[in-house]
Chain A
Amino acid sequence: MTDLTQKQVRERIAARLASRHRKEKIFRGLGIASIAFGVLAVLVLFTDIISKGHSAFLQTDIQLEVTYDPAELGIDKIDDESLAWANFDGVIRAALRERFPEVSGRRDKRELYSLVSNGAGFELRARLQENPELLGKTETLWFNADDDVDTYVKSLSESEEGFLGRTSEQKAGWIQALRDSGELKKRFNTTFFTNGDSREPEQAGIRAALVGSLFTLLVTLVLSFPIGVAAAIYLEEFAPKNRWTDLIEVNINNLAAVPSIVFGLLGLAIFINFFEMPRSAPLVGGLVLTLMTLPTIIISSRASLKSVPPSIREAAMGMGASRMQVVLHHVLPLAMPGMLTGAIIGMAQALGETAPLLMIGMVAFIVDVPHGVTDPSTVLPVQIFLWADSPERAFVERTSAAIMVLLAVLITMNTCAVWLRKKLERRW
């Protein structure tokens, strides 16, 4: 000690202090970097999805002058049977040939025909069915362009070259001609919201998946909310402290962390294999998701029951209410906002779930919009999964658009939950 002068001590402390402060700065910097990483991840994720998906909300249309020529259609009168056999594709093809009379040769013609979606014939049939007087007349209509054309046209607005992909130079020339004459336009893609799934990207939509999600969530909500609240009430208000109650509690906490795919295995083995419930049905999906979300709902309901102060219970008890009356008349209404918040969050979780639904066969290719909880259907996340696997480039933007819709719904639900909590929850 005595060897060091006061000055030396001060210098050493100063040097050490400098290094300690440097370390402090580094530590703080690491914290800021971590936060920045998290925020950056959110931003990258969202910009990536939006930049890929926004274009799917527009669809390229091509204008054609079609003639409902009875000879081309191969019919002479309008009834269900003749409409079913009529050659509407031929009419579209004739219209395309008329628009580009210079095209000859089989291969070129086939390429020409692929400008328009092959769903155009169905549109024409629907139109003729509604307006039978059109037979033999000519009118100008807009038709969905094929997905390759759509992709090419959309990429043109981003760069001069455009993404040709499977589109040939010749086809690009035709597209250019149509663009110059105003016979090609982009409009809001209503098909995306009104159609079910399709192998053709330009005809694929999310309606069937949305309705399927709705039915599945409905089943989940109807089952999981009452059961979850009842379980929470029992555990929080009535359960005696014993081994059984402990067992139930440990069980609930563990179930909350069991991987969702295991619930899918349960659904497959018990609901489908043992009880022989229908495959791909929202009913089974809802049951599986109920089991999965129950722990979440029970835990949040218990928390909100716990936050009701004991003085309320004591006051009610003092007025001569039975325990059941205390809970049902006083505690439950006060805890309801918190329970609802928990239920919304649980539903949001269920809405985004994919893996267990794959197990019970909700991956089927579903074109029709389901009408009930036992109809085969798919849900939005599974639709996203299916489209993400599709090779067509046009499905990438549709997948992203479906993700945008899903995220929008989820964000709305979560915002509602937060708003509800702020608005209704009381602090004691």
Chain B
Amino acid sequence: MQTPTLFALLLLLILVAYGTGFSRAVGAARSRGGIRSLASLPSYYGVHTALWCGLPALVILGFWLVFDDAIIRTLVMGGLSDKPGSVSGQNLLYAQIQNLAAGNLVGESTPQLVAAAAHLTSLRQSGQWLQTALILILATGLGAFALLQISPEMRAREKVEKVLRAILLICACAAIFTTVGILLSVLFESLRFFQSVPVTEFLFGLHWSPQMALRADQVGSSGAFGAVPLFTGTLMVSAIAMFVAVPVGLMSAIYLAEYAGNRVRAFAKPLIEILAGVPTVVYGFFAALTVAPFVRDVAQSIGLEASSESALAAGLVMGVMIIPFVSSLSDDVINAVPQSLRDGALGLGSTKSETVRKVVIPAALPGIVGGVLLAVSRAIGETMIVVMAAGLAANLTANPLESVTTVTVQIVTLLVGDQEFDSPKTLAAFALGLMLFISTLVLNFIALHVVKKYREQYD
């Protein structure tokens, strides 16, 4: 039976289990004077039966789907007498076998391959049978077991709620699984990378050119993996972005919170927040096609040398992107400053701007700093704008008019397209990802800590 049909059948079984559980509970209660004598409402007996019937079967089915292909592949490849040693060669061979099994004729086929294809088909068929049988037996068997358990004394509601609570807990742990997944995936590949390239060279090397030679005798066959130019490029673009976003975002937040009337606020706030909803690829397009040529023309008109992909253009546009982020975070903390502080300062005769500068801002400072740190971590991790507008050349430069490259740009260029997981070039991307993850994690951690601590102060 095909998996979708099996799935549909399983759903049907679950519904049937619910129905029979429900009616059996009602039936069991009838002789004792109606459903009042049941420990739980009849629907809970139904759900209890349905859970027994469906949950284990669904879990097994899920695991089956995940590991099915891998197991079949190991069996098929294990049956082959001579096979290529390299991973890519094996992949190619297996793809050929799959094609043969699917009936597509590609290239010449040896008797061995035909036999392997037949093996694959038979394995798949028996796997399908086994799956259907296992799932159906499990579902009906456990469903029947649960049905037999039903008695008016059984506390069905508590059992059901226990299961539901466990499911809720598993969902809540999804965040932990994700973090662990990220850590494991970047950490393992990074460790493999650091086996071929020393950590010190990666962290302190000044030269980045990850192109690996195809042949050993080629000129410059070993790539250089010194990531300092990437770090400086990232820092420069982020600094330019912050230079735009922090003053503008902060000042607009102050104006909206302290000066603006309701009408201006109702008009300007959503308009600025549109900037936060624009996808980054749109900013990238805007930066590459409109801002970068504009920056180049302006620079040339005042006699400066500028490349068509400059750190300045990417940074400016990134700054615009981050404005709403800074402004809404600052808006929150400024509004959280108690009115009594303002009233006190105003009552002593200070002007509004003096109140803001000398009372409100100092009081809100931890929150603002936290917000700015979060904005920095966003700028560091931003990808599409720099990919489209900052360029690929790993220049170690302090000139914002030159093209620079960033950590995220290199991750994208190293990993887009086909790659093999045994070359340092691919693994380098994961090492960069690890750097990115750690630095943003540290920034976020500090920022959240600062913000949280501050919030407690005035609550």
Contact = CB atoms under 8 A, between A and B. Distances in A.
Binding between chains A and B: yes
Interface of A: 20-21, 23-24, 27-28, 30-35, 37-39, 41-42, 45, 48-49, 52, 226-228, 230-231, 233-235, 238-239, 247-248, 250-255, 257-266, 268-270, 273, 275-276, 291, 294-295, 298, 322-324, 348, 351-355, 358-359, 363, 381-382, 384-385, 388, 396, 399-400, 403, 406-407, 410-411, 414
A269 B181 CA distance: 9
Contact of B181 (A42, A239, A266, A294): A266
Nearest to B268: A35
Given A354-B281, A388-B288, A294 B182 contact: no
Given A38-B327, A251-B179, A265-B433, 6 more contacts: A33-B251, A34-B248, A39-B271, A259-B383, A262-B381, A322-B161
A269 B282 contact: no
A253 B429 contact: no
Contacts of A323: 161
B255 A32 contact: yes
A231 B441 CA distance: 22
Contact of A257 (B249, B277, B444): B444
Q: Which 7 A-B pairs have the closest CB atoms?
A: A259-B381, A31-B255, A352-B279, A269-B185, A230-B171, A27-B353, A34-B251
Given A230-B171, A235-B172, A266-B182, A260 B284 contact: no
Nearest to B244: A37
Given A31-B254, A251-B179, A381 B290 contact: no
Nearest to A356: B383
Contacts of A234: 165, 168-169, 171-172
B97 to A, nearest CB: 15
Interface stretch (B15-23, B77-85, B108-116, B411-419): B411-419
Nearest to A20: B351
Given A27-B353, A259-B382, A352-B280, A233 B416 contact: no
Interface string B337-375: 000000000000001111011000000000000000010
A294 B351 contact: no
A20 B189 CA distance: 60
Contacts of A253: 444, 448
Interface residues of B, number: 93
Contact of A265 (B174, B354, B429): B429
A399 B255 contact: no
A214 B287 CA distance: 27
A270 B281 contact: no
Given A42-B274, A259-B408, A385 B252 contact: no
Contacts of B254: 31
A35 B172 contact: no
Given A295-B175, A384-B281, A384-B285, A262 B323 contact: no
B256 interface: yes
Most buried by B among A41, A231, A388: A41
Contacts of B306: none
Contacts of B381: 258-262
Most buried by A among B352, B356, B411: B411
Interface in B310-357: 320, 323-324, 327, 351-354, 356-357
Interface string B178-190: 1101101110110
A231 B280 contact: no
5 contacts: A231-B171, A255-B179, A257-B378, A262-B437, A265-B186
A234 B175 CA distance: 13
A28 B259 contact: yes
Contacts of A384: 281-282, 285
A38 B272 contact: yes
Contacts of A258: 182, 381, 437, 440-441, 444
A42 B288 contact: no
B436 A262 contact: yes
A328 to B, nearest CB: 8
B56 interface: no
Contacts of A324: 161, 164-165
Contacts of B247: 34
Interface string B407-432: 01001100111000100000001100
A420 to B, nearest CB: 16
Given A38-B268, A384-B285, A265 B383 contact: no
A35 B176 contact: no
B255 A28 contact: yes
A67 B167 CA distance: 68
A38 B323 contact: yes
A264 B182 CA distance: 9
B430 A348 contact: no
Contact of A24 (B176, B286, B353, B384): B353
B378 A261 contact: no
Contact of B185 (A27, A230, A270): A270
B433 A261 contact: yes
Contacts of B105: none
Nearest to B282: A403
B93 to A, nearest CB: 15
A251 B433 contact: no
Interface string B188-226: 110000000000000000000000000000000000000
B60 interface: no
B412 A254 contact: no
Given A38-B271, A262-B186, A276-B69, A238 B165 contact: yes
B182 A261 contact: no
Nearest to B350: A20
A239 to B, nearest CB: 7
B164 A414 contact: no
B277 A414 contact: yes
Nearest to B256: A35
B4 to A, nearest CB: 11
Interface in B272-303: 272, 274-275, 277-286, 288-290
Contacts of B129: none
A228 B283 CA distance: 29
B167 to A, nearest CB: 7
Most buried by B among A351, A358, A382, A414: A358
A385 B69 CA distance: 33
Contact of B279 (A31, A233, A353): A353
Contacts of A239: 172
Nearest to A237: B168
Interface in B61-95: 66, 69-70
A41 B383 contact: no
